[in-house]
Copies of this chain bind each other. A is one copy, B any other.
Amino acid sequence: MRKVVVAGVGMTVFGRFPEKTVEELGAVASLRALKDAGLQPADIQIAYVGNLTEHRVTGHNSCLGQEILKDVGIHKIPITRTEAACASGACAFREAWMAVGSGLYDIALALGVEKLTGAGHAPLTRQGLNINGLAGLHPPGWWASRAVRHMAQYGTTIEQLALVSVKNHANGCLDPYSQFQKKFTVQEIQQSDMIAEPLRTLHMCPISDGGAAAVLCSEEVARRLTTRPVYVAASALTSLTYLQQEDMTFNDLERRAAQQAYEMAALGPEDLAFAEVHDCFTIAEVTRCESLGFCERGEYCHHLEEGKWSLGGKFPVNPSGGLLSKGHPVGATGVAQICELTWHLRGEAGERQVPGATAALGHVSGGTVAGLNGACSVVILKT
């Protein structure tokens, strides 16, 4: 497979926009990515659109990409919607990468977009199959039991978990695209509403709307567009049936995806400047970073207290604010990470810039609503 370059990125501010349609959010993100790449809509040869829940907002979401992109002036080309729960946008990016990498297309668009406002809640049961549903576990409950187990196994405290939220909300204040623009103290986080013992509201990502897009191209095209290309060094995608999971505090799904990505990029975690990680819950950042190999198992919170994962620390995690502060419009999240990685690798991340970044990692994991099955994407970009 030939090398693929991220030629341009763009996103909308994440937030709650009940008055905006998914078409508007998707079109704005796409136009910004095109502008950033210095390309016109007619230059796009193939497009992928990651979206999960639009059918819950408007009743259907078939050919959503065609609906969104016609407003941008992109039509006639192949447009496919991709879905793997919270990894839907990451899948759009991955298919665009393969389409260019295969040599069949030179310029591809990956769009992730979601309007969760108005989507309501998905049912938690699935006929005859939902063992987690039978056990009464919704996502907060599922992650709460992992938190309790991590505490028992490694002595992790709820205040340490709250520090993840403190860090990410502080970072989010430096990211103009972030939904929250507000710092929180450990006390404030621990005074927010209890949802599933020991996790409170501010240990969880919010309901968000937003879009994010990336234009990918061949090296040859990139030479025309930029003198500082950002390369896709690796893209790995793995699946998991959670019933296979042996240890609640460690995610085999992430471990395998990271291993594959490190091998493909010929880089290890020690070569990375920072990472964007799927922190849908505070405990999720902890177990996922441990699974991705950023530190030893059970050690994330110790390093957290020492500032290793903060901006200015040795290895910032979620400089954008992550899902906790930036927000989590499901389909958009994986592509928004590509935006954040690209900005840092170009030195364009403003106040939150990780200095001298030449390689960085983006991670998303998605599962069914009740968490029975999942998908995990790990992407490494480098200069």
Contacts and interface: CB of A to CB of B under 8 A. Distances in A.
Interface of A: 1, 21, 23, 52, 55-56, 58-63, 65-67, 69-70, 75-85, 91, 94-95, 98-99, 101-104, 122-123, 125-129, 236-241, 244, 256, 366-369, 372-375
A84 B102 contact: no
A369 to B, nearest CB: 6
Contacts of A98: 95, 98-99, 102, 104
Q: Which of A82, A129, A373 has the most CB of B within 10 A?
A: A373
Contacts of A23: 129
A230 B103 CA distance: 22
Contact of A79 (B62, B239, B244): B239
Contact of A238 (B59, B76, B374): B76
B21 A369 contact: no
The 4 closest A-B pairs by CB, nearest first: A78-B237, A66-B373, A102-B102, A59-B123
Contacts of A85: 62-63
Contacts of A83: 61-62, 80-83
Contacts of A128: 21
Given A60-B369, A62-B84, A104-B98, A78 B374 contact: no
B1 A374 contact: no
Contacts of A81: 82-84
B1 A104 contact: yes
Contacts of A101: 102, 104
Contacts of A94: 78, 80
Contacts of A102: 1, 98, 101-103
Contacts of A56: 55
Contacts of A55: 55-56
A233 to B, nearest CB: 14
A173 to B, nearest CB: 32
A300 to B, nearest CB: 24
B122 A60 contact: yes
A66 B241 contact: yes
A79 B82 CA distance: 10
A294 B67 CA distance: 30
Q: Which of A21, A56, A85, A372 has the most CB of B within 10 A?
A: A85
Contacts of A77: 238-239
Contacts of A95: 80, 95, 98
